[in-house]
Structure formats: structure tokens, C-alpha cells
A and B are shown apart, each in its own frame.
Chain A
Amino acid sequence: MNSPIQKQPVLEVKNLNVEYPVNFRSGFQRETKQAVIDVSFNIFPGECFAIVGESGCGKSSIIDAILGFVQTTSGTILFEKQDLMKLSLQRFRKLRPKIQPVFQDYNQALNPRQRIGDIFKETLPRNLRESQTDQLLTSVGLSNEILNYFPHQLSGGQKQRIVLARALSVKPSLLLLDEPVTSQDLSVAVQIVELLISLRKIMPMTFLLVSHNLSIVQLLADRVAVMKNGQLLEQQPLSTLLQNPKHDYTKNIISQTTQL
């Protein structure tokens, strides 16, 4: 694994709180659920920072908050020194290509009525389109003939690769990977992990990886944070976390993951 370069962080999250309204009753009383409670972390250029925790612990909410898909938050999210929550809608939209998500649900991540080739027509400038499309497809291990297909004609692994290629086509500085291989078969998951590792070698890439699967996280992450019930319990470099976990919860996850 590449060791994190000590420069300015790409992403700084400080005291982030995310609430969701629950049971919206017409009127003024709203119950809210705290999904993320006072979370802070930094991600440095070139590193893979992972957040590990069970379903419902709030890790996906962090990604939604960074992408601006949830409104009720407090705290700051600084991307390349810009406060995402204070930006105007227009400026935020201009910044979006730099922070690209790869969602868990690859089956629904592609427009069912759009051919694969048209995806790249949307994201790439006309003059460089052909060469860059070829480059992108090669970098994710796919061939040109896929451009004519519709998503339903692709396998799960191919869909996930296209999602990745699409994210890469807008030249992001930060990739947000939300359970990228959890719903995939074992052999496909390994291929995707290999792909992610090779991409990190070819181009400068910063990852925020969110997963409940510690065995996958182990293969990719430089630093790991453990999350439970909306809070970060600990943040450590990967090896330190595996050898000297501070919390019992972390010890629990580690022991349950490594069997046989």
C-alpha cells in the first residue's frame, strides 16, 4: 500500500452531524434520527481511507453528506479547502465532478435506457471523446464492443466496471466507494479489488472506502476508522488497527472476519 503523503488533506470533515426526519407529521413536530454524530476525519492525497461498520451505522450517510444529498447537517466538510456547505448551488455543481461516488447498487446505477457509449458522450468533451473512451475502457478491463450495449445486457462485474469508468471519466480527485463489492460474487469481487489496486498505481487517486467487510478493506486501505451507531470509535493505520485494536467492538469485528 502507498503510505499517505503528508500534504494538505483532500477532504477534511469536522464535527459532522447528520439527521434524518422520521415520521414526518404534517405540522411542526418532527422526530429526527441521528445518523452521524460528531464525526471528524481527514483524507490525504493518494491514500485510501476506509470506514468500517455494520449496516445502519451511518457510514453511507457520510457519503450522502459529502455529496450534498442530505440537507440536515451541521459541522464542516472542506474539500480542497472549500467549505462544501457554504458554496452556492452553482459553484457546488461545478465542483461535483471532482468528488465521484461508486454506489453499492450497481444494478440501478446505470440508466436502463441509455447505451453505454452514450454515457461517455455525456461526460467527455467531443474532441477527445473517442481516444479517452478507449483509454477508460481499457483501464477498467473492458473492450469497445460494450459501447453498443444496454445495461441489462451486462453482467454484474461489467456494470460495476462501467460505473467506475464513468466516475473516472470526469477526472475526480476523490472517489467515494460505498460497499463496492459487497453484492458481488466472490470471483468478481476479487477482480474489482484488483482493478482498484491497479488504478491506484496508474493514476493519483484518493479513496474513501466504506464497507462492512473488513477482509476487503484490508486489501485496499491505508488508514481505517471504525464506526458504530453514528460515531467513530477509533482511527488508525491499517496495520496498527489489526494488531492493536483499542475498542472491544473492533476486536469483535476482527475476530469474526478471520475464520478458518
Chain B
Amino acid sequence: MKIFPQKILKNRSLSSGFTTVAIVFLFLLLGPLLTPNNHTFQDLSASLQTPSVSHWMGTDYYGRDVFARLVYGGRITWLVAVISTFFAVCIGTIIGLFSAYRGGWIDFVVMRFVDVMLAFPKLFVVLLIVGLGASSTNLLIGVLALFSWMEITRIVRSEVISQKNRTYIKSARALGLGTPRIIIKHILPNILSPVIVSSVLLISTIILVESGLSFLGLGIQAPNASWGSILNDGKIDPLGTWWLSVPAGLLILTTVTGFNLIGDGLQKLFDPRKSL
């Protein structure tokens, strides 16, 4: 265990990724302490102001403080991404584990279902929900999770299949251990590495998807903010109202890059190529 912190420090992807994500995280955490402004308070008289002392990042069309919106919007973006990823990974792992271990026709049916889900027009569902006026943050989380679990299932399944016929699993079966125990205590710990890496990368994917949907007006709805919706505000005159488009865009870019670097670094960390 002594080598552990050294490994992380030497792993440049991991350390730079962590740092990046940590900085954005601190920004989101401490943001409200830095500005007294409310992110939903509209002051039409102060609309579209450039950055100033009272409004660090200026104001948008409704006079709302952009800095505060970046902070709270960021929180929502992150929350949505982390929670949907969590659910997607849970669903995907459970389905992948049992389907792959069982094998046979159960596996066949489940994988065809995965194929259907992957081919499903996701945007259509989102449009439908928004069109019906039923959109909410929780529903958005649900939809994002619903369309992301398949990737995890595929990864879990291929890992389980490679472990399933190993001698230690055969031995566990021969000892008379029950299937749930074998799957949870023997197979799961040995497939965690690629699942963890995929989960981290899934977070950044979902951030991009959610930002895209919010940019189109289909994701996070007003009065709540999200980096994507702030970008949406800035789209009319992106260069003129640069304080609307550039900071939000940079935050998305930085966060996604940060998580990707972590995922990359974790992959290197877990790489079994530790040969003498």
C-alpha cells in the first residue's frame, strides 16, 4: 500500500484529471459564498450587463446574475450527470452480471433487448416528454439513465464471460456456493476495474448530452439553470454577449476533459501489465 500514493502522483492523467475536476468542484461548492446574488432573481433594468464588480460574470437577458447561474447551473449539471450515471451503472451491472452468468437463451434475449434499446431514437422520447409538458429534472435523470445503461451492460457482460470459465469460478461452483454469492463475491470484484473506468467516462458523456439537450431547450427548464441552457441564452449573439457563451462553454469543456483524464488515468492504473 505504500506505493499507492506514488502511483497516483506519477500517473499524470490521473493527477491532472483529479486537479481539474477538484477545481471545478470547489467552484461549485464555494460559489454561493463568493456572491450574494441569487441566480433566479430577475432585474430587467440590469439586463445584459458586461462583467462588473457587482455581477462578476455580468447578467443575462433577464438581468439574472450569470456567475450565480453558472454555479447553480453547474450543480444541477453535475447532479444530473452523477445521479443518472449511478442509476445507469447499477441497472447495467445487474443486468449484465446475471444475463452473462446465466448464459443460454436468457443471455440471448437480454442482448437483443439491449440492441433494441441502443437503436431506439432517444431524442424522440425527450421531445415527446417536453412536448407533453411533463419535463422535470427528475424525469430528465430517468431518461438519461434509461438510455445509458446498455453500454455498461455490454462491458460487464464481456468481462463476466471471460471470468465465468476460469478455474476459480469452477472451483467455487464445485464447492456448492450459490449463484448469487459467486456472482457478487467472486465475479464482481474481478470485473470492477473496467466498470469503474466506464462509469467515469459515462459521467462526462452525460454532461455533454445534458448540455446539448438543455441548449436545445429540451433539458433543464427555466427558471433552473444548466450550463447548456446558459449557452442557449448566449447563442443569439455569441461574440457580443461573450460572458454568456464563453464561461459556460469553458466550464463544460474543462469538466468533461477532467473526467476523461481521470478515466484515462484509472485505465492505466488498473492495467495488469505489471510484469517483471
Contacts and interface: CB of A to CB of B under 8 A. Distances in A.
Contacts of A67: 170, 173-174
A69 B164 CA distance: 12
Contacts of A96: 173-176
A254 to B, nearest CB: 31
B175 A100 contact: yes
Given A111-B186, A113-B189, A105 B176 contact: no
A99 B177 contact: no
A122 B177 CA distance: 8
Given A105-B167, A108-B168, A113 B175 contact: no
Given A93-B176, A108-B166, A101 B190 contact: no
A101 B176 contact: no
A163 B176 contact: no
Contacts of B175: 96-97, 100, 122-123, 166, 170
Interface in B182-235: 185-186, 189-190
Interface in A152-174: 163, 166, 170
Contact of A97 (B166, B176, B186): B176
Contacts of A103: 167, 170-171
A25 interface: no
Nearest to A123: B175
Contacts of B190: 111-113
Contacts of A97: 175-176
Given A111-B172, A113-B189, A114-B186, A93 B167 contact: no
B178 interface: yes
Report, as a range, how many residues of chain B touch the other chain: 10 to 19
Contacts of B174: 67, 96, 99-101
A224 interface: no
A239 to B, nearest CB: 32
Given A69-B170, A103-B170, A110-B168, A94 B177 contact: no
B176 A109 contact: no
A101 B174 CA distance: 7
Contact of A108 (B167, B176, B186): B167
Contact of B171 (A109, A112, A113): A109
Contacts of B186: 111, 114
A164 to B, nearest CB: 11
Nearest to A89: B179
A96 B175 CA distance: 6
Most interface-central of A67, A69, A95, A111 (chain B CB within 10 A): A111
A113 B171 CA distance: 15
| Best-surrounded residue of B171, B173, B185 (most CB of chain A within 10 A) | B171
A105 B168 CA distance: 9
19 contacts: A67-B170, A94-B176, A96-B174, A100-B174, A103-B171, A108-B166, A110-B168, A111-B168, A111-B172, A111-B186, A111-B189, A112-B168, A114-B185, A122-B175, A122-B177, A166-B171, A166-B175, A170-B175, A170-B176
Given A67-B170, A113-B189, 13 more contacts: A69-B170, A69-B173, A93-B178, A97-B176, A99-B174, A101-B170, A109-B171, A114-B185, A114-B189, A122-B185, A123-B175, A170-B175, A170-B176
Interface of B: 166-168, 170-178, 181, 185-186, 189-190
Closest 8 CB pairs of A and B: A96-B176, A108-B167, A113-B189, A109-B167, A97-B176, A105-B167, A111-B168, A103-B167
